[in-house]
């Protein structure tokens, strides 16, 4: 059960209108790695979690916080659109360069949203539930969550350098700080899963022994690039992170099966029939 608190977690107030930056800020709202994605991802992972206790609470706590970040960014976008020019003549009236700023705005903010934020990315592509992953395996999900926070922090950092508005920068500083915490939190949660003996590398831990393939394929780096630069990496020599083998480097990967020759397809599918080649 959710309860909405009207106060924001952090102030979301720009020093002035900027419709062009409002469009850019849409990416960290409704983009693939935006707040709508992580909020829903963590909540679905939590709702699907079959382990009551700390892990379920962790997912639902941070998912709820991220939903608050959605509201913060929506509020900031809406305020950036306040008093923004609605026509080219308005844009250039007091600012000769206003035409370029006006051209960089998203007309859908005004036509569809009435001067408000939209559930889209910076290009106006609608947010999709396909962006979220809730697999039921906590280790797999937590590893993806680390990636989601890393991508989110990267995009917010880039946006920080695209605005001179002090109010916007303050909110972005806060979001970067919280995303830093979340990224460290998921890394710690991965270690906690291992300490609790619930999961280990690789996922899934319960996968049956692969027998003859383990020694040859499970810890062998295949070098398909010219040269052997990759052989210098940690992934090409020494013990593997799962503790179950030693990495080795193979600079001459070989094919292990002959060329696949497929039989003719069902004629009712009207594919190109190789048997007809003899009549040409």
Q: Confirm or deny that 246 is annotated as ligand binding.
A: no
Contacts of 205 (CB under 8 A, 6+ apart): 139, 199
Q: Is 216 annotated as a binding residue?
A: no
Give the pLDDT confidence of 231-278 residue by residue, as tens digits.
999 999 999 888 888 999 999 999 989 999 888 888 888 888 777 665
Kindly list the domain boundaries of the chain, sorted by start residue: 19-195, 212-250
Structure tokens at 224: 């398909």
Q: 39-48, 92-101, 162-171, 220-229: which has the minimum mean pLDDT?
A: 92-101
The answer to whether 4 is annotated as binding is no
CATH superfamily of 19-195: Ferritin, core subunit, four-helix bundle (1.20.1260.10)
201, pLDDT greater than 90: no
Structure tokens given for 31: 């983009």
Question: Over 80: is that where the pLDDT of 279 sits?
Answer: no
Is there a binding annotation on residue 251? Answer: no
115 is in an annotated binding site: no
Buried b (16+ CB within 10 A) or exposed e, 194-230: eeeeebeeeeeeeeeeeeeeeeeeebbbebeeeeeee
Query: Is 219 annotated for ligand binding?
Result: no
Report pTM: 0.88
11 annotated as ligand-binding:
no
User: Is pLDDT above 70 for 209?
Assistant: no
Q: What is the pLDDT of residues 111-144, one digit of tens each?
A: 999 999 999 999 999 999 999 999 999 999 999 9
H, E, C per residue of the chain: CCCCCCCCCCCCCCCCCCHHHHHHHCHHHHCCCCHHHHHHHHHHHHHHCCCCCHHHHHHHHHHHHHHHHHHHHHHHHHHHHCCCCCCHHHHHHCCCCHHHHHHCCCHHHHHCCCCCCCCECCCCCECCHHHCCCCCCHHHHHHHHHHHHHHHHHHHHHHHCCCCCHHHHHHHHHHHHHHHHHHHHHHHHHHHHHHCCCCCCCCCCCCCCCCHHHHHHCCEEECCCCCCHHHHCCCCCEECCCCCCEEEEECCCCCCCCCCCCCCCCHHHCCCCHHHHHHC
In which band, very low, low, confident or very high, does the pLDDT at 180 lie, cut at 50, 70 and 90? very high
Question: CA 32 from chain center: how many Å?
Answer: 5
């Amino acid at each position: 059960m959710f309860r909405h608190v009207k106060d924001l977690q952090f102030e979301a107030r720009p020093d002035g209108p900027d419709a062009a930056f409002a469009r850019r800020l849409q990416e960290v709202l409704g983009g693939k790695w935006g707040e709508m994605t992580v909020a829903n991802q963590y909540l679905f992972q939590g709702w699907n979690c079959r382990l009551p206790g700390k892990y379920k609470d962790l997912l639902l706590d941070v998912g709820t916080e991220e939903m608050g970040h959605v509201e913060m960014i929506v509020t900031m976008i809406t305020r950036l659109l306040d008093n923004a020019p609605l026509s080219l003549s308005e844009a250039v009236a007091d600012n000769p360069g206003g035409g370029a700023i006006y051209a960089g705005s998203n007309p859908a903010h005004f036509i569809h949203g009435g001067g408000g934020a939209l559930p889209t990315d910076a290009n106006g592509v609608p947010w999709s539930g396909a962006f979220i992953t809730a697999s039921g395996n906590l280790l797999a999900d937590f590893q993806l969550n680390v990636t989601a926070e890393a991508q989110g922090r990267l995009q917010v950092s880039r946006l920080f350098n695209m605005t001179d508005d002090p109010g916007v920068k303050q909110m972005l500083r806060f979001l970067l700080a919280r995303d830093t915490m979340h990224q460290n939190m998921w890394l710690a949660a991965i270690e906690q899963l291992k300490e609790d003996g619930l999961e280990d590398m690789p996922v899934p831990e319960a996968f049956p022994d692969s027998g003859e393939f383990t020694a040859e394929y499970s810890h062998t780096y295949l070098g398909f690039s010219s040269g052997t630069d990759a052989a210098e990496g940690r992934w090409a020599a020494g013990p593997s992170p799962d503790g179950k083998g030693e990495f080795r480097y193979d600079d001459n990967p070989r094919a292990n099966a002959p060329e696949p020759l497929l039989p003719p397809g069902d004629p009712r599918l009207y594919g190109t029939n190789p048997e007809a080649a003899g009549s040409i």
